[in-house]
């Protein structure tokens, strides 16, 4: 089901309502406590004071198996809590921004026969209540024109806001799916397979938590200006600026604001699932997330939508080369993500220095940004030319990539 303007408008929650994580926080607390007590039991048996002998091997397996299950559960609950908080942050921000976006036109229509209608998809239109006559047209024709122009601006903003909120919802759905499907095995029966299974899940759980934390930071870090990208300057520019500033599709904004995250999730997790192969009715785990390098799944897989086309394209060929370098191939992590993972020690060492790559790319982009100052629509008395718009769009793209690299390496 799609999130609509009305979902946001009727959201009767403050951001603090989400801080408790809808039960995940409580589950995390109880599991954490359980872990503490269980580790005490485990340590006392591990110490060997109570019992030694051949039966210990099987007992140790049971203890290890459940210890892993508890650790995985705690991490998954923490990931769930963070995912809920990230979703709450994005939704409450979107709701507040939507309210702000509609204020100018609603104020303009106040005390007039016009009423502002907002569609579920963010369409904004002034309508007149009651019959119109010749006198009405004389009196209100100017206001009508202004309202329609203002409605276009408000609609652009609302569409961006909705796309932002839907991106957050999509990211949360993905995280919840992963948390739901990846549940460890608890058992009082010794099983090497179950231990291997739980070990694999523990690694995934840690990735989930990292993704959830990253999502939170991402939604928190986007400024209102980035989210809206519209300046109400008049009718003449809006069509052009829509093409230049406003993402043309939900997917594009999703990519710009969060799809890289999802791609990163796919790039790391999906190959793993492909490698979870059935062996004699059991599942053999291939350890090591990044052992296959940073290349992602095959684009031919029918279950994975084609995200390649969502990579931004620069109009300047020199910049385009660097954009491709930044994003790498389909399913890959970006250079910024690789550098971040490497600096955190979460990337298997393949002998390549991604941090150095990121620094070099960051430096090049900064040079390009300085050498190609754009004309901004708010400082230009005339509508921007197509060339100026292309440069502006490229400049903003370069700026965003440089910012992502900066966050990863500094």
Partner 1 sequence: MAEIEVRPALLRAIGNDCETDVAPVIGRAESAFDDASSLSSLGLGELLSAGPLTNCYTGWRGTFREGTTAMHSLSDKIRGTAAVVDAADQNIADLYRGDIPEMPPIAVNIGGI
Q: Which of 71, 75, 85, 87 binds partner 1 (CB under 8 A)?
A: 87
Q: For residues 119 and 57, what is the distance between their CA atoms, to the nearest angstrom?
A: 65
Q: For residues 53 and 5, what is the distance between their CA atoms, to the nearest angstrom?
A: 66
Question: 307 or 408: whose CB is closer to partner 1?
Answer: 307
Residues 17-56 that bind partner 1 (CB under 8 A): 17, 22-24, 26-27, 29-31, 33-34, 37-38, 40-41, 44-45, 49-55
Question: Which residues contact residue 18 at a Cβ distance below 8 angstroms, ignoring those fewer than 6 apart?
Answer: 84, 85, 87, 88, 89, 92
Q: Which of 16, 145, 189, 249 binds partner 1 (CB under 8 A)?
A: 189
Question: Which residues contact residue 408 at a Cβ distance below 8 angstroms, ignoring those fewer than 6 apart?
Answer: 336, 337, 339, 340, 343, 358
- Smallest gap from Cβ 279 to partner 1, in A, equals 12
Residues 267-326 that bind partner 1 (CB under 8 A): 269-270, 272-273, 276, 278, 281-283, 285, 303-305
Q: What number of other Cβ atoms are within 10 A of residue 172's Cβ?
A: 22
Q: Which of 110, 131, 188, 302 binds partner 1 (CB under 8 A)?
A: 188
List, as own/partner pairs, every contact residues 383-388 make where C-beta atoms lie below 8 angstroms and the sequence separation is at least 24, other chains included.
383/236, 383/237, 383/240, 384/237, 384/240, 384/244
DSSP 3-state assignment of 285?
coil
- Smallest gap from Cβ 295 to partner 1, in A, equals 18
Residues 352-391 that bind partner 1 (CB under 8 A): none
Question: 184 or 247: whose CB is closer to partner 1?
Answer: 184
Q: Which of 128, 190, 222, 355 binds partner 1 (CB under 8 A)?
A: 190
Q: Which of 94, 147, 182, 244 binds partner 1 (CB under 8 A)?
A: 182
200 belongs to the binding site for partner 1 (CB under 8 A): yes
CB 109 within 8 A of CB 126: yes
Q: For residues 89 and 84, what is the distance between their CA atoms, to the nearest angstrom?
A: 9
DSSP 3-state assignment of 124?
strand
Q: For residues 343 and 355, what is the distance between their CA atoms, to the nearest angstrom?
A: 7
> Looking at the DSSP assignment, which residues form a beta bridge with residue 128?
114
Q: Which of 115, 119, 121, 186 binds partner 1 (CB under 8 A)?
A: 186
Stretch of 99-107, 149-157, 260-268, 332-340 lying at the interface with partner 1 (CB under 8 A) = 260-268
Q: Which of 161, 244, 266, 397 binds partner 1 (CB under 8 A)?
A: 266
Stretch of 125-133, 146-154, 179-187, 230-238 lying at the interface with partner 1 (CB under 8 A) = 179-187
- Smallest gap from Cβ 141 to partner 1, in A, equals 39
Q: Which of 16, 137, 177, 309 binds partner 1 (CB under 8 A)?
A: 177
Question: Which residues contact residue 327 at a Cβ distance below 8 angstroms, ignoring those fewer than 6 apart?
Answer: 311, 334
């Amino acid at each position: 089901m799609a999130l609509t303007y009305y979902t946001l408008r009727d959201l009767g929650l403050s951001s603090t309502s989400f801080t408790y994580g809808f039960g995940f926080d409580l589950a995390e607390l109880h599991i954490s406590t359980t872990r503490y007590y269980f580790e005490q039991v485990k340590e006392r048996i591990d110490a060997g004071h109570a019992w030694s002998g051949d039966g210990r091997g099987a007992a140790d397996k049971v203890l290890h198996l459940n210890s892993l299950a508890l650790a995985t559960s705690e991490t998954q609950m923490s990931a769930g809590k963070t995912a809920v908080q990230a979703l709450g942050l994005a939704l409450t921000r979107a709701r507040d921004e939507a309210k702000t976006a509609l204020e100018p036109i609603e104020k303009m229509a106040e005390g007039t026969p016009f009423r502002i209608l907002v569609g579920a998809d963010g369409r904004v239109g002034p309508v007149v209540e009651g019959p119109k006559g010749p006198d009405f047209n004389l009196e209100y024709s100017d206001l009508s024109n202004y309202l329609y122009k203002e409605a276009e601006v408000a609609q652009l903003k609302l569409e961006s806001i909705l796309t932002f909120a839907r991106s957050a919802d999509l990211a949360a759905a993905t995280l919840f799916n992963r948390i739901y499907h990846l549940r460890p095995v608890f058992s009082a029966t010794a099983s090497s397979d179950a231990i291997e299974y739980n070990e694999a899940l523990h690694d995934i759980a840690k990735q989930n938590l990292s993704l959830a934390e990253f999502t939170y930071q991402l939604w928190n870090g986007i400024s209102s200006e980035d989210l809206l990208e519209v300046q109400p300057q008049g009718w003449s520019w809006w069509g052009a600026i829509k093409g230049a500033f406003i993402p043309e599709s939900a997917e594009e904004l999703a990519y710009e604001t969060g799809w890289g995250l999802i791609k990163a999730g796919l790039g790391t997790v999906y190959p793993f699932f492909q490698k979870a192969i059935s062996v004699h009715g059991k599942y053999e785990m291939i350890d090591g997330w990044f052992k296959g390098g940073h290349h992602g799944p095959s684009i031919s897989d029918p279950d994975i939508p084609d995200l390649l086309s969502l990579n931004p394209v620069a109009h300047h060929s020199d910049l385009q080369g660097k954009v491709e370098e930044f994003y790498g191939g389909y399913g890959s992590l970006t250079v910024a993500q690789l550098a971040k993972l490497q600096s955190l020690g979460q990337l298997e060492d393949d002998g390549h220095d991604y941090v150095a790559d990121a620094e070099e790319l960051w430096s090049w982009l900064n040079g390009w940004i300085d050498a190609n100052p754009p004309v901004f629509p708010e400082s230009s008395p005339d509508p921007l030319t197509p060339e100026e718009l292309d440069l502006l769009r490229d400049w903003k793209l370069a700026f965003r990539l440089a910012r992502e690299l900066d966050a990863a390496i500094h």
